[in-house]
Amino acid sequence: MKISCKVLLTGVTGFVGGGVLRRLVADERYFASAAVRQHPALSLGSQVNAFAVGDLTASTDWSAALVAADVVIHAAARAHIMSDESIDPLVEYRSVNVDGTMALARQAVAAGVKRFIFISSIGVNGNINTAPFKENNAPAPAEPYAQSKYEAEIALLQLASETGLEVVIIRPPLVYGANAPGNFGGLVKAISKGLPLPLGAVHNKRSLVALDNLVDLIITCIDHSAAANQIFLAGDGEDISTTQLLRGVARAMGKPSRLVPIPASWLMMAATMLGKKAVAQRLLGSLQVDISKAQQLLGWTPPLSVAEGLRRCFPIVKD
């Protein structure tokens, strides 16, 4: 099959970027290049050209990496830092996620890149809801990370209107998969250790997205004509409670789920008293996303169910 598109990918050492790279390498329609901080960042294989560009800043030189690129998939970012000791975290997030992103985007325009796919965050919409988020809801970023992603979105869409660069923005909720970091990884560790968790009576609704589903949406947006200058919310299309998630993880691991049914209101009260309200909201609150726009405009359907996505997190488990 003839290569139809040359793609430059950033963030290949990250969880999402690594998943995208594996898919690009496996698909004969694409030729993948990777921007990394320095050589040797990791073994990318002989099928991938790697370019060392240094840190992601306003002054990063992307010229060599952008040569002949048709599409940029920008997955690199300054992500959530749980114990951020910066004097002004928003300044640090903006430096990378806004200034660094726009330096890449402007140089991409100069290099003749046709499309720029930006991996944003559902945090742009907000951290909690009572009705599923949609792309046209008023943004309500509550944390510096999400605020920086929102500002980058605004700047990218402005650049698109000025230059003709096609921009695609994808906002995923929590992304899970094998060896996932962050909150999902923490839950997996707790279950693997057999720890009792006071989360057996949580009746919230959370939208998640399996890594393979997110990657599939990203790949769909590479050359789908209807994706140009659009924002899409990603998700599995199934909303589950934290209790259901933990039981599903335990089942996929072949482990017992030791969940203690303590009322969510009690847990929220205790967490608030301990100064952990934000952490509790992620576990106890609802956050749903409506993926119908991607389904209708792109004809996209998440290839994996939640059950299959969880099963793939633990490939060595035997049925």
3-state secondary structure of 51: strand
Comparing CA positions, the residue from 203, 187, 190 lying closest to residue 310 is 187
* DSSP assigned state of 139: P
What residues are annotated to the active site? 145
* DSSP assigned state of 226: G
Instruction: Report residue 199 as tokens.
Output: 């989360």
Strand ranges in 90-160 using DSSP code E only, listed in sequence order:
115-119
Instruction: Report residue 268 as tokens.
Output: 């929220």
The two beta strands, 71-74 and 5-10, are parallel
* Phi-psi domain of 182 (left: phi exceeds 0; alpha: psi -120 through 50; beta: other): left
Comparing CA positions, the residue from 150, 92, 145, 159 lying closest to residue 125 is 150
Instruction: Report residue 78 as tokens.
Output: 């300054």
